[in-house]
Structure 1
Amino acid sequence: MTKDVGGGGSGTPKLRRRKHSNEIPAEVTKPNGGALLVNDRNKYKSMWIRTYSTLWMIGGFAFIIYMGHLYICAMVVVLQILMAKELFNLLRKVREDRDLPGFRLLNWHFFFTAMLFVYGRFLSQRLVNTVTLDKVWYKFVGILIKYHMVICYFLYIAGFVWFILTLKKKMYKYQFGQYAWTHMILIVVFTQSSFTVANIFEGMFWFLLPASLIVINDIAAYLFGFFFGKTPLIKLSPKKTWEGFIGASIATIISAFLLANFMGQFEWLTCPRTDLTTGWLQCDPGWLYKPEYYQLPGWISNLLPWKTIPIMPVQWHALCFGLFASIIAPFGGFFASGFKRAFKIKDFGDSIPGHGGITDRMDCQMVMAVFAYIYHQSFVKPQSLSVDTILDQILVNLTFEEQLDLYRKLGEILHQKTFGLL
């Protein structure tokens, strides 16, 4: 006589599949599970959880901003590692990993090799400026920078050879799938988010403003959708509405204009960081942060106590950031939503209550960081060579003896020109 396990009619035991914590629950497929926020019966409970987590994140973020550039970079690195961990685990199969000891370590080898390459490119000049006064460190750093690409290349080749040597019969498909998945993470996630570090050192303004606009857009879209959302926006995100999208766009553009004026008043936010120290910054912020006065039309000036309005030139650039953050950057979130649906998961993780994982919060930020960097390099940063740029190249690419030789030759040329004019 066979025992009926699981309540079925046959004697064959039924195996229960264990549901992962971030897997889409069954109720999402039901009518109320995909309801708009305005019709969601549990919306106030989820709103409180989301608000509580948001306040903690904003508070922690403000404290790190106060601490300075290096602490912000450290925060970015930690977030990148947590994002990589979430995504590595997404396609991980425990049984296969158990049969491939050390294989998971290979993913992190590629990750930190990419980190060394990207950050080395961004921060090499700042590192030189930090150790200029110490001859030993200056020479050592000079060698590292000179052979930076070679070091990174051979680290990557070492990982490539390591991968080939670990190939195991009957597991080729899984191993090559993991290899491709790792490189996709590096290209799509890590490379994009690394532009954030470059923005930080160009001036904290160019990091903080774009990042803040994404947060404002996300909160405004949630609130407008929460109270007024009636018209679905896109099938990939069932709870996104046109009302939330349009309301958030208007709020983000206005916020961009006002925030740029507020942030532009602080040297701590506008001065670029040219080294890797943590001291207070002082500089001439430049014409971008010096207000220009515009005459108000007569009918407006009659209603207001002032006749002119001060506007910083950087505020016009901020409007472009607001447009991008409200119209284009949300598609990073839509992409992530489609990706999660393809793998049938609700969130990339559960590390942030009410928000999901780190990757769920960084999808739009990555798109925005790349835009901010490209926009700054193309339309804001001076394209012509300056004295500081030439000096930076001399300090990085010439040895101390070559610098002395250049100094002597420049002295001779200037001496000849001076006497020629006399």
Structure 2
Amino acid sequence: MNFRIMERDLQSPRSASNARARNRRKSTEAFPDVMKVNGSDLLVNDQNKYRSMWIRTYSSVWMLVGFILVVYLGHLYLWGMIVVIQILMASELFNLLRRAHEDRRLPGFRLLNWHFFFTAMLFVYGRILSQQIMHAVTPEKFFYNLATSFMKYQMVICYFLYITGFMWFILTLKAKMYKYQFSQYAWTHMILIVVFTQSSFTAANIFEGIFWFLLPASLIAINDVAAYFFGFFFGKTPLIKLSPKKTWEGFLGASVTTVISAFMLANVLGRFQWFTCPRRDLSTSWLQCDPGPIFTPEIFELPSGVSQQLPWKEISVLPVQWHALCLGLFASVIAPFGGFFASGFKRAFNIKDFGGSIPGHGGFTDRMDCQMVMAVFAYIYHQSFVIPQYYPVEILLEQILGSLNFEEQVLLLTKLKEIIDARQIQN
């Protein structure tokens, strides 16, 4: 009897500890609006909720100011910003599965990851910006021949750079480290496919015209801000389990706001040549171009019943505004699933954010999850439904002047003259 009492007394501290843990779990389950932040419980509806909102707003204002400055500087600086963001995102994701103990036993292993990253960067941007690279040099300069040779053998150069990294990886395999090394190898390639390749479409959009970069990026930001505020003040119904803070009220309110904003914002941005003209080189000079019919205003008369209630009888609409509605619909309905994917990914690895570079927002990867999905769609939509499906004379001339030397151009001119003369004789 005494032995049992002593045994129960010895176990009581542990039992009490387990009971306290169960009570804590029950209290957390009883109050689903409790969050864990730095080990302390915070109610979502207390003053910390508003403090978090102000921190997020403060960071957003500074990001907006910096973004406007880069847009003002032009295409080349925007591309540089995208490259910097890609490097920061890669750094966050490389560090996500990094284990310091294993890395100490594998000197140079992190350098191998960056080797693959910059090889992919050389390949993708070499293909996307080939036309701009050729226009950045002139036939009188030594760099023209260098750029021409690089563009001709770019795929070979990048392939052997990749093979070098592949052989480097095989030669550095160590016993009892195989699983870690192969998981890091697969993780690196996933980063290149999911992150780098998708976000590289952003650069293509920039050089097609800042409009095709700025409008989609702005719509994602508007949707994110609108969803945050609608959910903050009106959110009651959970939207998806992967993101407990997302609500149907926030989702629907943001969707309507984004579509309306797309139509109005396209009208504003579409009237500036700095936004609508494509950049065919890597300079930062002012742009002048024919905006084309898509950016030429069309006048629509309002119905008599509507015009009587308004101070104007007609409105000016840019045809690109109808395309903007499609972009706004995608940004509000489909693009948020990029954020849901990131939320599920973070839950799988039990982390709150990918990084802490931006106060109130997490890391750069947290901010770019929806942007990547949107950038790919904007590029595909522009190539499929906006640009003409034939090659204008100006584009053909640019290709001829950029890819053929003087002797080849003279030969082409001679052949064209022979063909035209032959057709004239037949007619």
1:186 and 2:215 correspond: no
Aligned counterpart, 2:411: 405
Point out which structure has higher relative CO (alpha carbons under 8 A, 6+ apart): 1
Deviations 1:350-402 (A, max 9, x none): 00000000000000000000000000000001111221332243345434322
The residue number in structure 1 matching 2:165 is 159
Within a 5 Å distance, the mapping from 1:338-349 to structure 2 comes to 338-349=344-355
Q: For 2:152 and 2:30, how far apart are their aligned partners in 1?
A: 56
**One-letter identity of the residue aligned with 1:284:** D
- In structure 2, the residue matched to 1:220 is 226
TM-score by length of 2: 0.89
Q: Distance in 1 between matches of 2:398 and 2:370?
A: 34
Read off the aligned partner of 1:68 and give its amino acid letter: G
Structure 2 CA distance, aligned partners of 1:37 and 1:315? 43
Asked if the contact 1:37/1:229 (under 8 Å) is kept, the reply is no
Contact 1:267 1:281 in 2 (8 A): yes
Equivalent positions of 1:123-272 (< 5 A) are 123-272=129-278
8 Å CA contact retained: 1:70, 1:278: yes
Alpha-carbon distance change, 318 to 38 in structure 1, aligned in 2, over 3 angstroms: farther
1:49 aligned partner: 55
Confirm or deny that 1:33 pairs with 2:39. no
Q: 2:391 aligns with which of 385, 389, 403?
A: 385
Q: Secondary structure at the match of 2:245?
A: strand
User: Which residue of structure 2 lines up, in the alignment, with residue 333 of structure 1?
Assistant: 339
Is the radius of gyration larger for structure 1 or structure 2? 2
Which secondary structure does the structure 1 equivalent of 2:278 belong to? coil
- Tell me if structure 1 keeps the 8 A contact 2:298–2:316: yes
Q: Say yes or no: does 1:278 pair with 2:273.
A: no
Distance in 1, Cα, partners of 2:111 & 2:413: 49
- State the secondary structure of the residue aligned to 2:246: strand
Q: Distance in 2 between matches of 1:107 and 1:93?
A: 14
1:310 matched residue in structure 2 = 316
What residue in structure 1 maps to residue 82 of structure 2? 76
The equivalences for 1:409-420 within 5 A come to 409-414=415-420
State the alpha-carbon separation in 2 of the partners of residues 47 and 84 from structure 1.
27
3-state secondary structure, aligned to 1:181:
helix
Query: For residue 378 of structure 2, what is the aligned residue in structure 1?
Result: 372
Alignment check: 8 A CA contact 1:109 1:159 kept:
yes
Change (3 A) 1:291 1:37: farther
Structure 1 spans left out of the alignment, 5+ residues:
1-7, 10-25
Q: 1:171 Cα deviation (Å)?
A: 0.1
**Which AA in structure 1 matches 2:237?**
T
User: So what's the TM-score if we normalise by structure 1?
Assistant: 0.90
SS in 2 for 1:42: helix
For 1:4, the equivalent position in structure 2 comes to: none
Identity of aligned residues (%): 71
Report the Cα distance in structure 1 between the residues aligned to 2:58 and 2:364, rounded to whole angstroms: 16
Give the structure 1 partner of residue 368 of structure 2.
362
Residue in 2 aligned with 1:21? none
Query: Partners of 2:59 and 2:30 in 1: how far apart?
Result: 26
Where does structure 2 lack aligned partners over 5 or more consecutive residues?
1-9, 12-26, 37-41
Contact 2:135 2:402 in 1 (8 A): no
Which residue of structure 2 lines up, in the alignment, with residue 85 of structure 1?
A: 91
Counterpart for residue 299 of structure 2:
293
The root-mean-square deviation of aligned C-alpha atoms, in Å, is: 2.2
Partner of 2:299, secondary structure, is: strand
